[in-house]
Amino acid sequence: MVAVTGLYDRAASRWRELQADICAALEAVDGRARFSSERWERPGGGGGVSRVLEDGEVFEKAGVNWSDVEGELPEDFAAQLPGSGRRFRATGVSLVLHPRSPMAPTTHANFRFLEKGDAAWFGGGADLTPYYVWREDAEHFHRTLAAACDAHAPVGDYPRFKRWCDEYFFLKHRGETRGVGGIFFDYVGRAPGLAKATDADLEAAFAMASACGAAFVPAYVPIVERRRAEPYGDVERRWQLVRRGRYVEFNLVDDRGTTFGLKTGGRIESILMSLPPLVRWDHDVQPPGPRERELVDILRAPVDWLGPSTRPR
């Protein structure tokens, strides 16, 4: 398909390596539970390795999935993507971490490479979903990811990716972002038309996506280390379970990846690994106090965590 020799295989290897590195770092944080590892085949072609940690000391549920799949896209979906025809190959690493403590944020990251006909591109990102906001945590997360982007400018473009993240992880029916954001990018490699991406464009995109992937552990782990021992009680736990409901609503109603996977015969248990372990839906919940109100206010008006100078021009 694409011209750059071996790029697909190098990307697939790099995501596999990231999966291993991230799981090792998270096991070190947890100190108790271990990731299982489960290899699966996709009936249409390819497969993956799902790694799941449940009932840990720090993580109530954590899933880190790697995949390398190929096949034919359904016609209506193929028409929405760049590149000729319906044949595709895709490889990526994708994770969602649900800490037990409501004081530690949930997080998601995904890095992927797709080839379709004459097109090829990178996509991905990482975002943070706290139940209680510490501004220094949100700033640290954004700062670490921004540094990875900046090191690969102009293909890495933090201000644009930050806004893209706020726009993508938005629950329309709630009028809220999913969390305090991070970065999101897609169709990177395209210069100027995706089908005409040069080898250098794709290599630069790979280097950027790879650097963002490497930035995930330093962006997230210090936050969970800082918050794992914060005290909390039933009110905070209940707030976390209610807010996890919003995570489910986003993933099942709005998330393109999830709904596409469910509707086109993806591997259900790997797709739904992202759903929280325990969730509440109470009727018409209001924030019980000022800290919970602060969260909701932030979700309704996304913050420029690194200051106004980082706003997209």
Smallest separation (angstroms) from a second copy to the CB of 210? 28
Binding-site member from 191, 279, 303, 306 for a second copy (CB under 8 A): 279
**Nearest by Cα to 102 from 126, 127, 129, 137:** 129
Name the residue with tokens 């489910």.
248
Structure tokens at 277: 């372990």
Binding mask 172-201 for a second copy (x = CB under 8 A): xxx---------------------------
d(CA 78, CA 117): 10
- Which residue, 5 or 80, has its beta carbon nearer to a second copy? 80
Q: Which helix (H) or strand (E) holds 292?
A: helix 290-300
Instruction: Assess 252 for contact with a second copy (CB under 8 A).
Output: yes
Question: Do residues 197 and 129 make contact, with C-beta atoms less than 8 angstroms apart?
Answer: no
Instruction: Assess 263 for contact with a second copy (CB under 8 A).
Output: yes
Instruction: Assess 46 for contact with a second copy (CB under 8 A).
Output: no
Instruction: Assess 234 for contact with a second copy (CB under 8 A).
Output: no
- Which residue, 38 or 230, has its beta carbon nearer to a second copy? 38
Instruction: Assess 78 for contact with a second copy (CB under 8 A).
Output: no
Instruction: Assess 118 for contact with a second copy (CB under 8 A).
Output: no
Catalytic residues: 108
Question: Do residues 235 and 132 make contact, with C-beta atoms less than 8 angstroms apart?
Answer: no
d(CA 73, CA 108): 25
Q: Which helix (H) or strand (E) holds 167?
A: helix 158-168
Site for a second copy, rule CB under 8 A: 52, 54, 61, 63, 172-174, 241, 245, 248-249, 252-253, 259, 262-263, 268-269, 272-273, 275-284
